[in-house]
Amino acid sequence: MTSMISLQNVTRLYGTVLGVNDISLELPCGAWGLLGPNGAGKSTLLNLLIGQLKPTRGRVEVLGMQPRNNAALMRRMGFCPGFEGVYASVSGLDWVTFLLQMQGRSTAAARRRAIECMEQVGMQESMGRPIASYSRGMRQRTKLAQAISHEPELLILDEPFSGLDPIGRSQMTDLLRSWIREGRSIVIASHVLHEIEALTQSFLLISGGRLLASGTSEEVHELLYQVPMELHLRCTKARRIAALVLETGLADSVTIQPSPVIHSEHGSSCDLLRISTRSAEPLASALMNWIPAEQVTVLEFRTADDSLQSLFNSLMKIHRGEL
């Protein structure tokens, strides 16, 4: 069976700068999240998939075809870019109708389908208004409408949640979930794990132009637990907790930052405990036992940095042989 996406030793250079570095992968049909920090090479990879860029080396195939200047593939693929680029002076309905006509549909058929799609993305009330008057969320939904309007087999989305408020995010998630439920394929690029996690359990992790890892949500979380991480715990009895952590050997280092603020209920200070660990999961489990047992009051418990970014940094170090 033909893969949905097949990359063979794909490298893309911008002059001397590496956009994508020797990526090989075979993706079957389904929903895939492309995760990576800003500048990881996600957009370059998407541009290679939609045929806007030619690989400097290697071979790209999407739905069994090379994407560059491929009209047949463009009928089977929908793309929603991360930026806007919509014509402000026309209405959303006219814009989607026009883009459907560009797919070869007659004016009447394009209009009917455009209305359906605008309704599907919840734009029935505003579809006749000029795009200039739309909010960011409405524009995102209109962009999604143009991408799904010709009923493509594969939908490629670049940062679809970017700039959306929580309600907009929730609506976009629902829309994409219903798309996936229909059994269609999708590739979503994002730098925020939980956004993609709400849609799919299959991930590709990319950083520095390299494919660092791929797998399910559980596997990504497993990786997250395995990488060095700094936990911040602001609580009472910080010294006692620090001693327990050091006794178990689960931490690489522990520092206590005293706080001048006295907790009103307990009459003691809530110091900040910084714990560096390579065993986040067992340490978190142990903390969950110690906190009630020692009658500790916790004001704050979080990771010091963006855990996904830590994962990418660690994976890069592993890739370079530094870890």
Partner 1 sequence: MNALLAMFRYELRKSVTAGRVAWWFVLAMFPVLITVLSRWVQSKEGEIQLDERNSFWSILLYVAIPCVCCAMSALLTAGPAVATELEQRSWVYLATRPHGIAWLLLGKFLVATLWAFTAAAAAVSLSVLFINTPNPGSIWLGILRLAALAAPAYSATYLLLGAVFPRRSMVFCVMYTVGVEVLLGSFPAVVNRVTVQYRLRSLLTQWLPLSDEIRNSTAMQYTIGSSSAPLHLLCLAGITIGFILLAIALTRLRQFTTAAESDL
Residue 286 beta carbon to partner 1: minimum distance, rounded to whole angstroms: 46
Question: Is 140 near partner 1 (CB under 8 A)?
Answer: no
Question: Is 64 near partner 1 (CB under 8 A)?
Answer: no
- Window 67-86: contact mask with partner 1 (x via CB under 8 A): --x-xx-xx-xxx-xxxxxx
- Window 101-130: contact mask with partner 1 (x via CB under 8 A): xxxxxxx--x--------------------
Residue 204 Ramachandran class (φ > 0 left, ψ -120 to 50 alpha, else beta)? beta
Question: Is 136 near partner 1 (CB under 8 A)?
Answer: no
Q: List the interface residues with partner 1, window 30-49 (CB under 8 A).
A: 43-44, 46-47
Residue 10 beta carbon to partner 1: minimum distance, rounded to whole angstroms: 15
Q: List the interface residues with partner 1, window 271-310 (CB under 8 A).
A: none
Give the C-alpha distances (Å, rounded to integers) separating 180 from 11, 107, 148, 205, 264. 30, 29, 12, 20, 50
Q: Which CB, 103 or 307, lies closer to partner 1?
A: 103
Question: Is 149 near partner 1 (CB under 8 A)?
Answer: no
Q: How many angstroms separate the CA atoms of 129 and 228, rounded?
A: 51
By CB under 8 A, name the binding residues for partner 1: 14, 43-44, 46-47, 50-54, 69, 71-72, 74-75, 77-79, 81-87, 89-90, 98-99, 101-107, 110, 146, 158
